[in-house]
């Protein structure tokens, strides 16, 4: 399924079931103690509030007819005290649950981020970054209140209903049946809109995800947008996506508002029926005005918990759509991981062997087929060939960023599929064409791959790759703050900093994927001097389109037709007069 575009909805892999909510209860159980305290406070507040109609009944039927002014003042003071006490309890409870909600947010978000750190490259290849980001931020925020206040409030409202029903029947059973008469209508409406509500909120999550993905893509590519004057076109795309998000939101809210609309009207109807039956049918001979007044108070109180429960139900329906997305992400399989009893690799010598390796990003579309070669420790190997032939795929497989489809890859005779990822990747230095710079200082960026490195080691690595000179030209030198992706640096400067970061880790196997493509010829010559010393004793794989930069490698492999079409030294391949000779001659003529 195509999921790598901002305008394609992400359909759920499986329908929601109660198992998802049970999984959410794991986070709730961790907050059990404060939630119990909050529940007790809420129950006390609700219980105190239910005494008010009984006090009103006594005042109307007894205190006022007896003209007991002292008693009237006392009962009034008691009602005021119940209100104050309920407010105090509710405030304390609110503070507790705010903390609980934020703790739940933290734990879910932490688990999501931890899982995302382990997911293979394939997961990120298949979807926009914005659709991943919205799950970690927006969706977690959306479910936090339901998983904290929602659970407590649901239990409390059920208890409220039972208590109110008990008080009502204790006052007058006949009038209580009138109040309960609206329940079948309410339940019928809820059953009718239940499925529509879930689908509507799934649509909201889809359109919000699409909008977020496009915004992230647009911000990342703003320079390209302005270069090609795509502002108006992009505004049109954004308007369409925003309109879709608005339309689905309005439809979902329309269904949500049906519930309070129904409850409000049913409350009015049953209250009217209550007065009609009590005053006009039964009359004063059978029932007092105080009883009718108390029952009208309980009627409003009875339907209020139902309204609250319906709102909680709406929130739950909304949360289901987001919980489905959250748990879908958490259930995404970590396909590239340590096998049981994985081995810790010792210090590597650097021998790399491909043994009949086949690989495909998508089933049935092999990039490499039955690829075999053996690289000796300390040997420098250049991978050349046409774009899309699989050069980067080869080095990605050595780093085990993907699992091979068939065959095996060995380092020092050990199958890397049976080794721990940490012991493998910690001994590899990988320098990619897209040099990513993190927000922070230049010192922090170089030290990223070796956090315990001293300043002297950082500076030594920078000098080796010829980055020290331009770094010292900044006012704060190595403590210069750089923005995310290094927007204040040139592409060449970003690559040199990334080079220093890679080399600082002192890797046994070094991978350079078009690492010098954005460095000017003069800097590249200086860099090459330092690299020649560094590459001694280390196995290295170098991908480069400029063949002049790799002709001194021990071996050059021409990758084409899903394998190695030609292999040998620069002179051997020229003498062969095959594909490499043709490519090298073409570049020489262009120069």
In 161-181, which positions are buried (b, 16+ CB within 10 angstroms) versus exposed (e)?
A: bebbeebbeebbeebbebbee
Task: State the Cα–Cα distance between residues 118 and 332, nearest whole angstrom.
Answer: 10
Q: Which of 495, 456, 6, 494 minimizes the C-alpha distance to 221?
A: 6
Model's pTM, two decimal places?
0.66
Lowest mean pLDDT among 105-114, 310-319, 458-467: 310-319
Categorize the per-residue pLDDT at 300 as very low, low, confident or very high, splitting at 50, 70 and 90: confident
Instruction: Supply the pLDDT for residue 2.
Output: 40
Instruction: Supply the pLDDT for residue 573.
Output: 93
Average pLDDT rounded to a whole number, residues 563-579? 93
More confident residue, 489 or 543: 543
Domains in the chain: boundaries: 18-330, 338-427+553-591
Contact 313, 157 (CB under 8 A): no
β-pairing verdict for 406-411 and 563-568:
unpaired
Instruction: Supply the pLDDT for residue 415.
Output: 95
More confident residue, 513 or 20: 513
Average pLDDT rounded to a whole number, residues 17-27? 74
Contact 439, 505 (CB under 8 A): no
Task: State the Cα–Cα distance between residues 397 and 394, nearest whole angstrom.
Answer: 5
Instruction: Supply the pLDDT for residue 3.
Output: 47
Name the most confidently modeled range: 2-11, 172-181, 224-233, 439-448: 439-448
Handedness of CA 494, 502, 123, 355 (dihedral sign): positive
Categorize the per-residue pLDDT at 28 as very low, low, confident or very high, splitting at 50, 70 and 90: confident
Give the three-class secondary structure for 268: helix
Instruction: Supply the pLDDT for residue 1.
Output: 35
More confident residue, 94 or 343: 343
Average pLDDT rounded to a whole number, residues 534-549? 81
Task: State the Cα–Cα distance between residues 145 and 106, nearest whole angstrom.
Answer: 13
Average pLDDT rounded to a whole number, residues 120-128? 80
Q: Which CATH number fits domain 338-427+553-591: 3.40.50.300, 3.40.50.1370, 3.20.10.10, 3.50.50.60?
A: 3.40.50.300
> Does residue 481 carry a pLDDT above 80?
yes
End-to-end CA distance of the chain: 44
CATH placement of domain 18-330? 1.20.1560.10
More confident residue, 464 or 492: 464
Categorize the per-residue pLDDT at 559 as very low, low, confident or very high, splitting at 50, 70 and 90: very high
Instruction: Supply the pLDDT for residue 16.
Output: 52
Contact 37, 148 (CB under 8 A): no
Instruction: Supply the pLDDT for residue 262.
Output: 80
Mean pLDDT of the chain: 81
> Does residue 488 carry a pLDDT above 80?
no
Instruction: Supply the pLDDT for residue 31.
Output: 84
Task: State the Cα–Cα distance between residues 491 and 516, nearest whole angstrom.
Answer: 10
Instruction: Supply the pLDDT for residue 156.
Output: 73
pLDDT tens digits, 45-92? 777 776 776 777 777 778 888 888 888 888 888 888 888 888 888 888
Categorize the per-residue pLDDT at 438 as very low, low, confident or very high, splitting at 50, 70 and 90: confident
Q: Which of 221, 66, 68, 204 minimizes the C-alpha distance to 138?
A: 204
Average pLDDT rounded to a whole number, residues 152-176? 77
More confident residue, 101 or 472: 472
pLDDT tens digits, 165-221? 887 787 777 887 887 877 888 878 877 777 787 778 778 878 887 887 788 778 777
Task: State the Cα–Cα distance between residues 174 and 153, nearest whole angstrom.
Answer: 29
Average pLDDT rounded to a whole number, residues 379-392? 90
Categorize the per-residue pLDDT at 9 as very low, low, confident or very high, splitting at 50, 70 and 90: low
Average pLDDT rounded to a whole number, residues 432-453? 82
Q: What is the DSSP string of 489-512?
A: S-HHHHHHHHHHHHHHT--SEEEE
What does the longest C-alpha to C-alpha distance in the chain come to?
121
Task: State the Cα–Cα distance between residues 562 and 388, nearest whole angstrom.
Answer: 10
Instruction: Supply the pLDDT for residue 17.
Output: 58
Lowest mean pLDDT among 344-358, 426-440, 551-565: 426-440
| Residues 6 or more apart in contact with residue 509 via CB below 8 angstroms | 348, 350, 352, 398, 411, 427, 428, 429, 538, 539, 540, 541
Task: State the Cα–Cα distance between residues 508 and 501, nearest whole angstrom.
Answer: 15
> Does residue 429 carry a pLDDT above 90?
no
512: which strand partners? 431, 542
> Does residue 315 carry a pLDDT above 80?
no
């Amino acid at each position: 399924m195509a999921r790598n575009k901002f305008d394609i909805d992400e359909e759920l892999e499986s329908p929601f079931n109660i198992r998802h909510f049970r999984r959410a209860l794991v986070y709730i159980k961790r907050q059990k103690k404060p939630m119990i305290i909050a529940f007790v406070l809420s129950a006390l507040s609700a219980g105190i509030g239910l005494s008010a109609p009984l006090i009103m009944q006594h005042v109307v039927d007894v205190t006022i007819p007896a003209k007991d002014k002292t008693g009237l003042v006392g009962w009034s003071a008691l009602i005021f005290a119940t209100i104050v006490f309920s407010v105090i309890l509710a405030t304390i409870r609110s503070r507790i649950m705010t903390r609980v909600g934020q703790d739940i947010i933290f734990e879910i978000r932490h688990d999501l981020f931890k899982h995302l750190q382990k997911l293979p490259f394939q997961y990120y290849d298949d979807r926009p970054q914005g659709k991943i980001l919205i799950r970690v931020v927006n969706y977690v925020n959306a479910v936090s209140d339901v998983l904290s206040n929602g659970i407590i409030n649901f239990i409390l409202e059920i208890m409220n209903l039972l208590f109110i029903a008990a008080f009502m029947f204790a006052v007058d059973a006949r009038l209580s049946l009138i109040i309960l008469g609206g329940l079948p209508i309410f339940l019928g409406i809820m059953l009718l809109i239940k499925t529509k509500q879930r689908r509507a909120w799934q649509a909201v999550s889809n359109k919000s995800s699409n909008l977020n993905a496009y915004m992230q893509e647009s911000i990342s590519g703003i320079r390209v947008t302005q270069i090609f004057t795509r502002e108006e076109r992009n505004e049109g795309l954004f308007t369409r996506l925003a309109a879709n998000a608005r339309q689905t939101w309005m439809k979902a809210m329309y269904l949500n508002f049906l519930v309070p609309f129904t409850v409000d009207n049913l409350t009015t109807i049953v209250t009217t029926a209550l007065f009609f039956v009590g005053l006009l049918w039964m009359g004063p001979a059978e029932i007092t005005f105080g009883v009718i007044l108390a029952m009208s108070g309980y009627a409003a109180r009875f339907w209020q918990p139902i309204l609250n429960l319906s709102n909680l139900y709406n929130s739950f329906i909304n949360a289901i759509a987001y919980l489905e997305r959250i748990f879908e992400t958490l259930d995404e399989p970590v396909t590239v991981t340590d096998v049981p009893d994985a081995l810790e690799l010792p210090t590597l010598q650097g021998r790399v062997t491909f043994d009949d390796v086949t690989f495909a990003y998508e089933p049935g579309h092999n990039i490499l087929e039955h690829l075999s070669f053996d690289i000796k420790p300390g040997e420098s190997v250049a991978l050349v060939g046409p774009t899309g032939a699989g050069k980067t795929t080869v080095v990605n497989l050595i780093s085990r960023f993907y699992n091979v489809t068939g065959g095996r890859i060995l380092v020092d005779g050990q199958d890397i599929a049976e080794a721990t990822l940490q012991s493998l990747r910690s001994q590899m230095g990988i320098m990619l064409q897209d040099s990513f710079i993190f927000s922070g200082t230049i010192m922090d960026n170089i030290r990223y791959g070796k956090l315990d490195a001293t300043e002297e080691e950082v500076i030594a690595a920078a000098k080796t790759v010829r980055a020290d000179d331009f770094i010292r030209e900044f006012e704060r030198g190595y403590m210069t703050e750089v923005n995310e992706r290094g927007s204040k640096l040139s592409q060449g400067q970003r690559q040199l900093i990334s080079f220093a970061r890679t080399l600082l880790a002192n890797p046994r196997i070094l991978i350079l994927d078009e690492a010098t493509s954005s460095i000017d010829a003069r800097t590249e010559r200086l860099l090459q001097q330092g690299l020649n010393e560094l590459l001694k004793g280390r196995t290295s794989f170098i991908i480069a389109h400029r063949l002049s930069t790799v002709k001194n490698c021990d071996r050059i492999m021409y990758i084409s037709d899903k394998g190695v079409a030609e292999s040998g030294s620069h002179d051997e391949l020229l003498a062969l007069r095959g594909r490499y000779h043709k490519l090298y001659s073409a570049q020489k003529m262009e120069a």
